[in-house]
Structure 1
């Protein structure tokens, strides 16, 4: 089994969890900003790109919330790695609320990304 097939299985598992736990319509939207121009004083070119991704959203345990590194509004998000790779300059829409990426950790035990574990803040 290759890393790519494992990544596809993880994405399918995220979809299955959404169907089993909720109404099956839970979708995360990755919002990537428009292409940045070469000159920083020029405006960005084009429109932001929105991509629907599968994932799991969790609250952080109260014992980890310190008000600085992890705040009460932060969410721990596991995103499937079959779509575009998120960046800290991107946004993530969860249930109509836009979150900023605080950190992104790539889980790639075989050298191929299987999923991304992200800390997101409203």
Structure 2
């Protein structure tokens, strides 16, 4: 945590590289989505054009989609989110969603399955 321009994004990228996590920059994610000609993209574009904050529900949907589309990732470092306790609680509820957890567990457990069946050669 820190104020604007203190290097949070830079440190986030460095940590992602060092530890094998995926860096998710919320600002970049929102700008990319705003350029898409989808209903959600146009909505984000209009909100940002007015200088308003994008609603938490839309942000959580984008973050969730990003996380679910990268099942190979060891973890995620999200830059620019949450902006407060309410968003943090909403995010906590999201990451405890069985769809997110199930995919993570499946990714971790699959390599060990042969050993559990006795198929592993010593």
Give the TM-score normalised by structure 1.
0.32
**Larger Rg, first or second structure (1 or 2):** 2
Query: Larger % of helix: which?
Result: 2
Query: Larger % of strand: which?
Result: 1
